[in-house]
Chain A
Amino acid sequence: MQGALSIKNAGKIYDPGGSHVVALDGISLEIVAGEFCVIVGPSGCGKTTLLNAIAGFDQLTAGEIWLDGELMASPGKRLKPGPDRMVVFQHGALFPWKKVLWNVTCGPLKQGRLTQAEANEKAREFLARVGLHGIEDQYPEALSGGQKRRVEIVRALMNDPKVLLLDEPFRALDALTKSVVQEHLLELFDFEPETIFFITHDLEEAIFLADRAVVMTTRPGTIKKIVDVDIPRPRDLKVLTSSRFLALKAELGAAIHEEAKMAFESGERELA
Protein backbone atom coordinates (compact mmCIF):
# COMPACT_ATOMS: atom_id res chain seq x y z
CA MET A 1 0.00 0.00 0.00
CA GLN A 2 1.16 3.50 -0.73
CA GLY A 3 1.22 6.54 1.45
CA ALA A 4 4.12 6.25 3.83
CA LEU A 5 4.78 9.82 4.89
CA SER A 6 8.07 10.73 6.49
CA ILE A 7 8.72 14.16 7.95
CA LYS A 8 12.30 14.76 8.95
CA ASN A 9 13.23 17.70 11.11
CA ALA A 10 10.78 20.07 9.45
CA GLY A 11 11.11 23.74 10.24
CA LYS A 12 9.35 26.86 9.05
CA ILE A 13 10.30 30.40 9.84
CA TYR A 14 8.17 33.23 8.52
CA ASP A 15 9.83 36.52 7.62
CA PRO A 16 13.35 35.47 8.69
CA GLY A 17 14.81 38.94 8.28
CA GLY A 18 12.00 40.78 9.96
CA SER A 19 9.62 39.54 12.60
CA HIS A 20 11.20 36.04 12.55
CA VAL A 21 8.25 33.96 13.53
CA VAL A 22 9.17 30.34 14.17
CA ALA A 23 6.09 28.37 13.19
CA LEU A 24 7.65 24.88 13.11
CA ASP A 25 10.81 23.67 14.74
CA GLY A 26 12.42 20.28 14.28
CA ILE A 27 9.29 18.26 13.63
CA SER A 28 10.02 14.62 12.90
CA LEU A 29 7.23 12.16 12.30
CA GLU A 30 7.02 8.78 10.60
CA ILE A 31 3.56 7.92 9.35
CA VAL A 32 2.98 4.38 8.16
CA ALA A 33 0.95 3.73 5.04
CA GLY A 34 -2.72 3.39 5.90
CA GLU A 35 -2.38 5.10 9.23
CA PHE A 36 -4.89 7.60 10.53
CA CYS A 37 -2.69 10.23 12.12
CA VAL A 38 -4.21 13.18 13.91
CA ILE A 39 -2.30 16.31 14.89
CA VAL A 40 -3.95 18.12 17.74
CA GLY A 41 -3.03 21.45 19.24
CA PRO A 42 -4.32 24.94 20.02
CA SER A 43 -4.95 27.60 17.39
CA GLY A 44 -1.82 29.06 15.96
CA CYS A 45 0.47 26.22 16.94
CA GLY A 46 1.55 25.62 13.39
CA LYS A 47 -0.38 22.49 12.53
CA THR A 48 -1.92 24.15 9.48
CA THR A 49 1.55 25.23 8.45
CA LEU A 50 2.68 21.63 8.57
CA LEU A 51 -0.29 20.50 6.53
CA ASN A 52 0.33 23.22 3.96
CA ALA A 53 3.94 22.12 3.67
CA ILE A 54 2.88 18.54 2.94
CA ALA A 55 0.18 19.72 0.55
CA GLY A 56 2.58 21.96 -1.27
CA PHE A 57 1.04 25.35 -0.57
CA ASP A 58 3.92 26.41 1.59
CA GLN A 59 7.63 25.75 1.62
CA LEU A 60 9.72 24.53 4.51
CA THR A 61 12.78 26.50 5.54
CA ALA A 62 14.40 23.44 7.06
CA GLY A 63 13.98 19.66 7.01
CA GLU A 64 12.53 17.27 4.46
CA ILE A 65 9.31 15.55 3.55
CA TRP A 66 9.43 12.08 2.02
CA LEU A 67 6.56 10.14 0.52
CA ASP A 68 6.95 6.45 -0.24
CA GLY A 69 10.71 6.69 -0.16
CA GLU A 70 10.87 9.69 -2.51
CA LEU A 71 12.03 13.12 -1.44
CA MET A 72 9.17 15.49 -2.09
CA ALA A 73 10.06 18.71 -0.32
CA SER A 74 13.05 20.41 1.20
CA PRO A 75 14.23 24.01 1.39
CA GLY A 76 15.82 23.61 -2.03
CA LYS A 77 13.06 21.54 -3.59
CA ARG A 78 9.71 23.14 -4.23
CA LEU A 79 6.75 20.81 -3.79
CA LYS A 80 3.75 21.37 -6.00
CA PRO A 81 0.25 20.55 -4.81
CA GLY A 82 -1.34 17.55 -6.39
CA PRO A 83 -4.04 14.92 -6.18
CA ASP A 84 -1.70 12.45 -4.52
CA ARG A 85 -1.92 14.65 -1.44
CA MET A 86 -5.47 15.84 -1.81
CA VAL A 87 -6.72 18.39 0.72
CA VAL A 88 -10.09 18.84 2.36
CA PHE A 89 -10.16 22.50 3.30
CA GLN A 90 -11.31 23.98 6.58
CA HIS A 91 -13.95 26.34 5.29
CA GLY A 92 -14.86 24.26 2.29
CA ALA A 93 -13.72 24.68 -1.26
CA LEU A 94 -16.42 23.09 -3.33
CA PHE A 95 -16.78 25.21 -6.45
CA PRO A 96 -20.11 26.94 -5.85
CA TRP A 97 -20.69 27.48 -9.54
CA LYS A 98 -20.57 23.78 -10.40
CA LYS A 99 -22.98 21.07 -9.46
CA VAL A 100 -22.07 18.44 -6.92
CA LEU A 101 -21.44 15.75 -9.52
CA TRP A 102 -19.02 17.97 -11.42
CA ASN A 103 -17.23 18.93 -8.23
CA VAL A 104 -16.77 15.36 -7.23
CA THR A 105 -15.74 13.95 -10.61
CA CYS A 106 -13.63 16.81 -11.95
CA GLY A 107 -10.38 15.54 -10.46
CA PRO A 108 -10.14 12.13 -12.13
CA LEU A 109 -11.74 13.45 -15.31
CA LYS A 110 -9.29 16.32 -15.73
CA GLN A 111 -6.39 14.02 -14.99
CA GLY A 112 -7.71 11.63 -17.61
CA ARG A 113 -7.83 8.68 -15.28
CA LEU A 114 -11.49 7.79 -15.68
CA THR A 115 -14.16 8.17 -18.33
CA GLN A 116 -17.23 10.23 -17.60
CA ALA A 117 -19.36 7.14 -17.06
CA GLU A 118 -16.84 5.49 -14.76
CA ALA A 119 -16.40 8.66 -12.77
CA ASN A 120 -20.14 9.16 -12.41
CA GLU A 121 -20.62 5.66 -11.14
CA LYS A 122 -17.76 5.83 -8.69
CA ALA A 123 -19.05 9.18 -7.47
CA ARG A 124 -22.54 7.88 -6.84
CA GLU A 125 -21.11 4.91 -4.99
CA PHE A 126 -18.98 7.04 -2.72
CA LEU A 127 -21.75 9.53 -2.08
CA ALA A 128 -24.11 6.73 -1.18
CA ARG A 129 -21.59 5.38 1.25
CA VAL A 130 -21.59 8.64 3.17
CA GLY A 131 -25.33 8.74 3.17
CA LEU A 132 -25.88 11.20 0.33
CA HIS A 133 -28.34 10.12 -2.31
CA GLY A 134 -29.68 12.05 -5.24
CA ILE A 135 -27.88 15.32 -4.58
CA GLU A 136 -25.59 15.10 -7.58
CA ASP A 137 -27.60 17.60 -9.55
CA GLN A 138 -27.65 20.29 -6.92
CA TYR A 139 -25.39 23.22 -6.37
CA PRO A 140 -23.29 23.26 -3.18
CA GLU A 141 -25.19 26.27 -1.83
CA ALA A 142 -28.30 24.13 -1.55
CA LEU A 143 -26.59 21.66 0.77
CA SER A 144 -26.24 21.80 4.52
CA GLY A 145 -22.87 22.16 6.20
CA GLY A 146 -22.61 18.49 7.03
CA GLN A 147 -23.53 17.49 3.49
CA LYS A 148 -20.97 19.84 2.00
CA ARG A 149 -18.20 18.42 4.15
CA ARG A 150 -19.06 14.90 3.12
CA VAL A 151 -19.13 15.87 -0.54
CA GLU A 152 -15.74 17.44 -0.17
CA ILE A 153 -14.34 14.32 1.45
CA VAL A 154 -15.77 12.24 -1.39
CA ARG A 155 -14.21 14.63 -3.89
CA ALA A 156 -10.86 14.11 -2.24
CA LEU A 157 -11.18 10.33 -2.14
CA MET A 158 -12.19 10.16 -5.80
CA ASN A 159 -8.64 11.15 -6.64
CA ASP A 160 -7.11 8.07 -5.01
CA PRO A 161 -4.69 10.14 -2.97
CA LYS A 162 -1.70 8.54 -1.32
CA VAL A 163 -2.26 10.81 1.64
CA LEU A 164 -5.56 12.46 2.48
CA LEU A 165 -4.99 15.81 4.16
CA LEU A 166 -7.80 17.23 6.25
CA ASP A 167 -7.48 20.74 7.65
CA GLU A 168 -9.81 20.95 10.66
CA PRO A 169 -12.61 19.93 8.33
CA PHE A 170 -15.36 19.67 10.91
CA ARG A 171 -14.56 22.85 12.76
CA ALA A 172 -17.56 24.77 11.48
CA LEU A 173 -20.10 22.04 12.20
CA ASP A 174 -22.24 21.86 15.28
CA ALA A 175 -21.46 19.04 17.68
CA LEU A 176 -24.32 16.81 16.57
CA THR A 177 -23.63 17.08 12.84
CA LYS A 178 -19.97 16.66 13.62
CA SER A 179 -20.42 13.29 15.27
CA VAL A 180 -22.47 12.01 12.33
CA VAL A 181 -19.89 13.12 9.78
CA GLN A 182 -17.07 11.70 11.90
CA GLU A 183 -18.76 8.32 11.84
CA HIS A 184 -19.08 8.50 8.06
CA LEU A 185 -15.39 9.31 7.77
CA LEU A 186 -14.50 6.33 9.92
CA GLU A 187 -16.71 4.11 7.80
CA LEU A 188 -14.90 5.23 4.68
CA PHE A 189 -11.58 4.64 6.36
CA ASP A 190 -12.56 1.17 7.49
CA PHE A 191 -13.78 0.25 4.02
CA GLU A 192 -10.69 1.46 2.21
CA PRO A 193 -7.83 2.32 4.54
CA GLU A 194 -5.49 5.04 3.43
CA THR A 195 -3.04 7.37 5.03
CA ILE A 196 -4.92 10.20 6.62
CA PHE A 197 -3.27 13.32 7.99
CA PHE A 198 -5.91 15.12 10.04
CA ILE A 199 -5.44 18.27 12.07
CA THR A 200 -7.79 19.56 14.73
CA HIS A 201 -7.97 21.45 17.98
CA ASP A 202 -10.60 19.11 19.37
CA LEU A 203 -9.02 16.47 21.60
CA GLU A 204 -12.02 14.17 21.69
CA GLU A 205 -12.24 14.21 17.93
CA ALA A 206 -8.55 13.40 17.73
CA ILE A 207 -8.73 10.38 19.99
CA PHE A 208 -11.97 9.15 18.45
CA LEU A 209 -10.60 9.15 14.92
CA ALA A 210 -6.87 8.49 15.25
CA ASP A 211 -4.55 5.51 15.16
CA ARG A 212 -1.99 7.87 16.58
CA ALA A 213 -2.53 11.26 18.16
CA VAL A 214 0.24 13.84 18.06
CA VAL A 215 0.14 16.80 20.42
CA MET A 216 1.87 19.92 19.14
CA THR A 217 3.24 22.75 21.22
CA THR A 218 2.29 26.30 20.56
CA ARG A 219 4.77 28.59 18.81
CA PRO A 220 7.35 27.36 18.10
CA GLY A 221 5.54 24.25 16.90
CA THR A 222 7.21 21.07 18.02
CA ILE A 223 5.94 17.64 18.93
CA LYS A 224 5.12 17.43 22.58
CA LYS A 225 3.67 13.97 22.84
CA ILE A 226 2.67 11.06 20.63
CA VAL A 227 0.19 8.52 21.81
CA ASP A 228 -1.00 5.29 20.19
CA VAL A 229 -4.74 5.15 20.28
CA ASP A 230 -5.22 1.43 20.75
CA ILE A 231 -8.99 1.44 20.71
CA PRO A 232 -10.02 -1.30 18.27
CA ARG A 233 -11.78 -0.58 14.98
CA PRO A 234 -14.50 -0.30 13.85
CA ARG A 235 -15.34 2.41 16.35
CA ASP A 236 -18.68 3.96 17.08
CA LEU A 237 -19.92 6.65 19.44
CA LYS A 238 -20.02 4.23 22.36
CA VAL A 239 -16.25 4.47 22.32
CA LEU A 240 -16.50 8.00 23.65
CA THR A 241 -17.47 6.81 27.08
CA SER A 242 -15.21 3.76 27.26
CA SER A 243 -12.57 3.67 29.94
CA ARG A 244 -9.71 3.47 27.48
CA PHE A 245 -10.93 6.59 25.75
CA LEU A 246 -11.23 8.50 29.01
CA ALA A 247 -7.80 7.39 30.10
CA LEU A 248 -6.28 8.62 26.86
CA LYS A 249 -8.18 11.83 27.21
CA ALA A 250 -6.79 12.36 30.67
CA GLU A 251 -3.28 11.60 29.49
CA LEU A 252 -3.37 13.98 26.55
CA GLY A 253 -5.68 16.48 28.13
CA ALA A 254 -3.15 17.82 30.54
CA ALA A 255 -0.57 18.28 27.82
CA ILE A 256 -2.95 20.06 25.52
CA HIS A 257 -4.41 22.28 28.17
CA GLU A 258 -0.97 23.52 29.06
CA GLU A 259 -0.32 24.53 25.47
CA ALA A 260 -3.75 26.05 25.13
CA LYS A 261 -3.15 28.29 28.11
CA MET A 262 0.18 29.46 26.73
CA ALA A 263 -1.39 30.21 23.37
CA PHE A 264 -4.25 32.05 24.98
CA GLU A 265 -1.99 34.19 27.09
CA SER A 266 0.19 35.27 24.23
CA GLY A 267 -2.87 36.20 22.16
CA GLU A 268 -2.05 33.86 19.33
CA ARG A 269 -3.95 34.24 16.12
CA GLU A 270 -3.96 31.59 13.50
CA LEU A 271 -1.35 31.56 10.82
CA ALA A 272 -2.16 30.87 7.21
Chain B
Amino acid sequence: MSGAQSDVRGSAAAPAVRPGTLFARLRRWVKGFSALNILLGVISLGSIACIWEFAGPLGIPMVKEVPPPSEVLASARDLVVSTQYWKGWLLSFQRIGIGFAIAQLIGIPLGLAMAINRTSFNSIFPIVEILRPIPPVAWIPISIVFWPTREQSVVFIVFLGAFWIVLLNTIGGASNIDRVYKRAALSLGSNSWDLFWKIILPATLPSIVTGMAVGMGISWEMVVASEMIAGDTGLGYLLWQSFQNNALAQVIVLMFSIGFAGYFSSALIRTLGRFATPWRQLK
Protein backbone atom coordinates (compact mmCIF):
# COMPACT_ATOMS: atom_id res chain seq x y z
CA MET B 1 0.00 0.00 0.00
CA SER B 2 1.39 3.38 0.89
CA GLY B 3 4.94 4.15 1.86
CA ALA B 4 4.77 2.17 5.07
CA GLN B 5 8.01 1.51 6.86
CA SER B 6 8.74 -1.97 8.12
CA ASP B 7 8.36 -2.34 11.85
CA VAL B 8 11.48 -3.13 13.73
CA ARG B 9 10.12 -6.35 15.10
CA GLY B 10 11.79 -8.34 17.74
CA SER B 11 13.87 -5.34 18.64
CA ALA B 12 13.23 -6.02 22.27
CA ALA B 13 15.25 -9.20 22.12
CA ALA B 14 17.94 -7.79 19.83
CA PRO B 15 21.14 -6.45 21.34
CA ALA B 16 20.71 -2.70 21.66
CA VAL B 17 22.83 -0.65 19.28
CA ARG B 18 23.59 2.59 21.10
CA PRO B 19 21.12 4.81 19.31
CA GLY B 20 23.20 7.91 19.67
CA THR B 21 26.23 6.77 17.74
CA LEU B 22 26.57 8.61 14.48
CA PHE B 23 27.40 5.49 12.56
CA ALA B 24 24.34 3.64 13.78
CA ARG B 25 22.10 6.54 12.87
CA LEU B 26 23.68 6.89 9.48
CA ARG B 27 23.15 3.20 8.83
CA ARG B 28 19.50 3.43 9.78
CA TRP B 29 19.02 6.49 7.57
CA VAL B 30 20.50 4.68 4.60
CA LYS B 31 18.41 1.59 5.27
CA GLY B 32 15.35 3.80 5.15
CA PHE B 33 15.82 4.33 1.44
CA SER B 34 14.65 1.24 -0.31
CA ALA B 35 16.19 0.32 -3.62
CA LEU B 36 12.91 1.12 -5.31
CA ASN B 37 12.89 4.67 -4.02
CA ILE B 38 16.43 5.27 -5.20
CA LEU B 39 15.65 3.91 -8.63
CA LEU B 40 12.49 6.00 -8.96
CA GLY B 41 14.34 9.06 -7.72
CA VAL B 42 17.05 8.64 -10.31
CA ILE B 43 14.49 8.10 -13.06
CA SER B 44 12.44 11.13 -12.11
CA LEU B 45 15.30 13.57 -11.57
CA GLY B 46 17.10 12.21 -14.59
CA SER B 47 14.16 12.65 -16.95
CA ILE B 48 13.41 16.12 -15.63
CA ALA B 49 17.02 17.13 -16.18
CA CYS B 50 16.95 15.72 -19.71
CA ILE B 51 13.70 17.43 -20.64
CA TRP B 52 15.02 20.66 -19.23
CA GLU B 53 18.32 20.37 -21.07
CA PHE B 54 16.77 19.69 -24.44
CA ALA B 55 13.73 21.92 -24.07
CA GLY B 56 15.14 24.38 -26.57
CA PRO B 57 15.64 22.05 -29.55
CA LEU B 58 12.48 20.16 -28.61
CA GLY B 59 10.52 23.38 -28.63
CA ILE B 60 8.78 22.90 -25.29
CA PRO B 61 6.91 26.19 -24.79
CA MET B 62 7.75 27.55 -21.35
CA VAL B 63 10.73 25.51 -20.33
CA LYS B 64 12.83 26.57 -23.30
CA GLU B 65 12.98 30.12 -21.95
CA VAL B 66 14.90 28.80 -19.01
CA PRO B 67 18.66 28.33 -19.37
CA PRO B 68 19.39 24.59 -19.59
CA PRO B 69 21.35 22.70 -16.93
CA SER B 70 24.55 22.88 -18.91
CA GLU B 71 24.45 26.66 -18.89
CA VAL B 72 23.48 26.69 -15.26
CA LEU B 73 26.39 24.49 -14.34
CA ALA B 74 28.79 26.69 -16.30
CA SER B 75 27.46 29.72 -14.48
CA ALA B 76 27.83 27.88 -11.21
CA ARG B 77 31.47 27.25 -11.97
CA ASP B 78 31.99 30.95 -12.51
CA LEU B 79 30.14 31.96 -9.41
CA VAL B 80 31.91 29.54 -7.15
CA VAL B 81 35.20 31.31 -7.79
CA SER B 82 33.88 34.83 -7.35
CA THR B 83 34.36 36.51 -3.99
CA GLN B 84 31.11 38.39 -4.38
CA TYR B 85 29.20 35.13 -4.27
CA TRP B 86 30.77 33.94 -1.07
CA LYS B 87 30.52 37.36 0.48
CA GLY B 88 26.84 37.14 -0.29
CA TRP B 89 26.66 33.84 1.59
CA LEU B 90 28.47 35.30 4.54
CA LEU B 91 26.31 38.38 4.73
CA SER B 92 23.04 36.54 4.36
CA PHE B 93 24.03 33.99 6.96
CA GLN B 94 25.10 36.78 9.24
CA ARG B 95 21.75 38.49 9.02
CA ILE B 96 19.89 35.27 9.57
CA GLY B 97 22.11 34.39 12.48
CA ILE B 98 21.54 37.64 14.28
CA GLY B 99 17.84 38.00 13.53
CA PHE B 100 17.14 34.37 14.32
CA ALA B 101 19.15 34.42 17.54
CA ILE B 102 17.41 37.54 18.82
CA ALA B 103 14.04 35.98 17.97
CA GLN B 104 14.92 32.95 20.11
CA LEU B 105 16.35 35.09 22.91
CA ILE B 106 13.16 37.07 23.19
CA GLY B 107 10.65 34.52 22.02
CA ILE B 108 11.55 31.53 24.16
CA PRO B 109 11.53 33.28 27.55
CA LEU B 110 8.42 35.21 26.59
CA GLY B 111 6.70 32.04 25.42
CA LEU B 112 7.60 30.18 28.59
CA ALA B 113 6.43 33.08 30.72
CA MET B 114 3.14 33.23 28.86
CA ALA B 115 2.61 29.51 29.21
CA ILE B 116 3.29 29.53 32.93
CA ASN B 117 1.62 32.77 33.90
CA ARG B 118 -2.01 32.93 32.85
CA THR B 119 -2.27 36.70 33.27
CA SER B 120 0.65 37.44 31.01
CA PHE B 121 -0.83 35.12 28.43
CA ASN B 122 -4.22 36.76 28.56
CA SER B 123 -2.75 40.25 28.23
CA ILE B 124 -0.16 39.59 25.56
CA PHE B 125 -1.80 37.01 23.34
CA PRO B 126 -4.51 39.24 21.85
CA ILE B 127 -2.04 41.82 20.63
CA VAL B 128 0.12 39.01 19.25
CA GLU B 129 -2.86 37.70 17.31
CA ILE B 130 -3.53 41.17 15.97
CA LEU B 131 0.00 41.82 14.78
CA ARG B 132 0.89 38.34 13.61
CA PRO B 133 -1.32 38.22 10.49
CA ILE B 134 0.44 41.24 9.03
CA PRO B 135 3.06 39.67 6.77
CA PRO B 136 6.57 40.60 7.92
CA VAL B 137 7.32 41.82 4.41
CA ALA B 138 4.70 44.52 4.89
CA TRP B 139 6.76 45.74 7.81
CA ILE B 140 9.71 46.52 5.56
CA PRO B 141 8.89 50.20 5.06
CA ILE B 142 8.42 50.70 8.80
CA SER B 143 11.64 48.85 9.38
CA ILE B 144 13.53 51.05 6.93
CA VAL B 145 12.14 54.22 8.46
CA PHE B 146 12.80 53.18 12.02
CA TRP B 147 16.21 51.59 11.95
CA PRO B 148 19.25 53.78 11.26
CA THR B 149 21.08 51.30 9.09
CA ARG B 150 19.92 49.10 6.25
CA GLU B 151 21.54 46.12 7.90
CA GLN B 152 19.44 46.59 10.98
CA SER B 153 16.24 46.92 9.01
CA VAL B 154 16.92 43.62 7.21
CA VAL B 155 17.74 41.85 10.47
CA PHE B 156 14.53 43.18 11.98
CA ILE B 157 12.42 41.55 9.29
CA VAL B 158 14.25 38.26 9.79
CA PHE B 159 13.63 38.61 13.51
CA LEU B 160 9.95 39.28 13.02
CA GLY B 161 9.42 36.26 10.81
CA ALA B 162 11.11 33.88 13.19
CA PHE B 163 9.70 35.49 16.32
CA TRP B 164 6.03 34.60 15.77
CA ILE B 165 6.91 30.99 15.06
CA VAL B 166 9.15 30.49 18.06
CA LEU B 167 6.66 32.22 20.35
CA LEU B 168 3.74 30.10 19.28
CA ASN B 169 5.69 26.86 19.35
CA THR B 170 7.10 27.57 22.80
CA ILE B 171 3.72 28.44 24.23
CA GLY B 172 2.22 25.38 22.64
CA GLY B 173 4.92 23.07 23.91
CA ALA B 174 4.95 24.42 27.44
CA SER B 175 1.17 24.39 27.68
CA ASN B 176 0.87 20.81 26.60
CA ILE B 177 3.09 19.31 29.24
CA ASP B 178 1.22 16.47 30.79
CA ARG B 179 0.08 17.59 34.21
CA VAL B 180 1.23 14.26 35.51
CA TYR B 181 4.88 15.23 35.19
CA LYS B 182 4.40 18.41 37.18
CA ARG B 183 2.48 16.57 39.86
CA ALA B 184 5.13 13.88 40.08
CA ALA B 185 7.79 16.53 40.54
CA LEU B 186 5.83 18.35 43.21
CA SER B 187 5.19 15.09 45.04
CA LEU B 188 8.89 14.46 45.01
CA GLY B 189 9.36 17.79 46.73
CA SER B 190 10.65 20.02 43.98
CA ASN B 191 10.41 23.79 44.31
CA SER B 192 9.37 26.23 41.58
CA TRP B 193 12.91 26.73 40.37
CA ASP B 194 13.52 23.01 39.95
CA LEU B 195 10.11 22.58 38.43
CA PHE B 196 10.98 25.07 35.76
CA TRP B 197 14.49 24.00 34.92
CA LYS B 198 14.06 20.26 35.28
CA ILE B 199 10.51 19.65 34.13
CA ILE B 200 9.02 22.51 32.15
CA LEU B 201 12.04 23.52 30.13
CA PRO B 202 13.13 20.04 29.04
CA ALA B 203 9.55 19.05 28.25
CA THR B 204 9.15 22.12 26.07
CA LEU B 205 12.44 21.57 24.25
CA PRO B 206 11.05 19.38 21.46
CA SER B 207 8.51 22.06 20.53
CA ILE B 208 11.15 24.74 20.76
CA VAL B 209 13.40 22.78 18.43
CA THR B 210 10.56 22.32 15.94
CA GLY B 211 9.83 26.04 16.17
CA MET B 212 13.49 26.76 15.51
CA ALA B 213 13.70 24.53 12.47
CA VAL B 214 10.55 26.02 10.95
CA GLY B 215 11.64 29.49 11.98
CA MET B 216 14.94 28.96 10.21
CA GLY B 217 13.11 28.26 6.98
CA ILE B 218 11.00 31.36 7.44
CA SER B 219 14.14 33.37 8.20
CA TRP B 220 15.55 32.51 4.81
CA GLU B 221 12.36 33.64 3.12
CA MET B 222 12.55 36.91 5.02
CA VAL B 223 16.19 37.57 4.36
CA VAL B 224 15.74 36.96 0.66
CA ALA B 225 12.65 39.16 0.58
CA SER B 226 14.30 42.04 2.39
CA GLU B 227 17.53 41.77 0.46
CA MET B 228 15.65 41.80 -2.82
CA ILE B 229 13.44 44.69 -1.85
CA ALA B 230 15.65 46.84 0.27
CA GLY B 231 19.12 45.42 0.44
CA ASP B 232 22.37 46.07 -1.35
CA THR B 233 24.30 42.95 -0.48
CA GLY B 234 23.62 39.34 0.19
CA LEU B 235 22.36 36.36 -1.78
CA GLY B 236 18.88 37.78 -2.24
CA TYR B 237 20.26 41.02 -3.58
CA LEU B 238 22.62 39.14 -5.90
CA LEU B 239 19.69 37.20 -7.25
CA TRP B 240 17.70 40.32 -7.98
CA GLN B 241 20.72 41.96 -9.55
CA SER B 242 21.32 38.98 -11.77
CA PHE B 243 17.73 39.21 -12.85
CA GLN B 244 18.04 42.91 -13.64
CA ASN B 245 21.14 42.13 -15.66
CA ASN B 246 19.33 39.37 -17.48
CA ALA B 247 21.86 36.78 -16.29
CA LEU B 248 19.27 34.05 -15.99
CA ALA B 249 21.62 31.12 -15.54
CA GLN B 250 23.09 32.96 -12.60
CA VAL B 251 19.62 33.50 -11.21
CA ILE B 252 19.04 29.76 -11.21
CA VAL B 253 22.34 29.03 -9.57
CA LEU B 254 21.51 31.51 -6.85
CA MET B 255 18.03 30.01 -6.44
CA PHE B 256 19.50 26.63 -5.71
CA SER B 257 22.25 28.12 -3.57
CA ILE B 258 19.77 29.84 -1.33
CA GLY B 259 17.60 26.74 -1.26
CA PHE B 260 20.53 24.64 -0.25
CA ALA B 261 21.62 27.15 2.38
CA GLY B 262 18.12 27.13 3.87
CA TYR B 263 17.90 23.35 3.84
CA PHE B 264 21.34 23.03 5.37
CA SER B 265 20.63 25.45 8.21
CA SER B 266 17.30 23.80 9.04
CA ALA B 267 18.94 20.38 9.05
CA LEU B 268 21.68 21.72 11.28
CA ILE B 269 19.12 22.97 13.76
CA ARG B 270 17.29 19.66 13.74
CA THR B 271 20.50 17.72 14.33
CA LEU B 272 21.56 19.99 17.17
CA GLY B 273 18.06 19.66 18.50
CA ARG B 274 18.36 15.90 18.56
CA PHE B 275 21.43 16.19 20.71
CA ALA B 276 19.56 18.44 23.05
CA THR B 277 16.70 15.98 23.37
CA PRO B 278 18.39 12.58 23.49
CA TRP B 279 15.40 10.90 25.03
CA ARG B 280 13.57 11.07 21.76
CA GLN B 281 15.98 8.77 19.97
CA LEU B 282 14.22 5.52 20.74
CA LYS B 283 11.23 4.71 18.62
Contact = CB atoms under 8 A, between A and B. Distances in A.
Interface residues of B, number: 8
B12 A23 contact: no
B179 interface: no
Nearest to A19: B14
A272 interface: yes
A266 B13 CA distance: 9
Contacts of B7: 272
Describe B's contact surface by its main secondary structure.
Answer: loop
Contact of B14 (A21, A219, A266): A21
Which of B9, B10, B11, B15 has the most chain A CB atoms closer than 10 A to its own CB? Answer: B10
B199 to A, nearest CB: 27
Contacts of A18: 14
B24 to A, nearest CB: 14
A132 interface: no
B10 A44 contact: no
B9 A15 contact: yes
A271 B14 contact: no
Nearest to A23: B10
B241 to A, nearest CB: 52
Contacts, number: 28
Nearest to B10: A21
A266 B9 CA distance: 16
Contacts of B13: 19, 21, 219, 266, 268
A272 B14 CA distance: 15
B9 A272 contact: yes
Contacts of A266: 13
Contacts of B11: 19
A23 B7 CA distance: 15
Nearest to A58: B9
B10 A15 contact: yes
Nearest to A266: B13
Which of B7, B9, B13, B14 has the most chain A CB atoms closer than 10 A to its own CB? Answer: B13
A69 interface: no
Interface in B1-35: 7, 9-15
A112 interface: no
A269 interface: yes
A14 B12 contact: no
A134 interface: no
Contacts of A44: 12
A76 interface: no
A190 to B, nearest CB: 38
A267 B12 contact: yes
B1 to A, nearest CB: 12
Interface in B23-63: none
Interface in A219-272: 219, 266-269, 271-272
B9 A269 contact: no
Which of A14, A18, A219 has the most chain B CB atoms closer than 10 A to its own CB? Answer: A14
A61 B242 CA distance: 62
B10 to A, nearest CB: 3
A268 B13 CA distance: 7
B14 A268 contact: no
A96 B11 CA distance: 31
Contacts of B14: 15, 18-19, 21
A18 B7 CA distance: 14
Contacts of A268: 12-13
Interface string A184-225: 000000000000000000000000000000000001000000
5 contacts: A15-B10, A15-B14, A21-B14, A268-B12, A269-B12
Given A14-B9, A272-B7, 5 more contacts: A15-B9, A19-B11, A268-B13, A269-B12, A272-B9
Interface of A: 14-15, 18-19, 21, 23, 44, 219, 266-269, 271-272
CB-based closest 8 A-B pairs: A21-B10, A19-B14, A14-B10, A269-B12, A14-B9, A21-B13, A19-B10, A15-B10
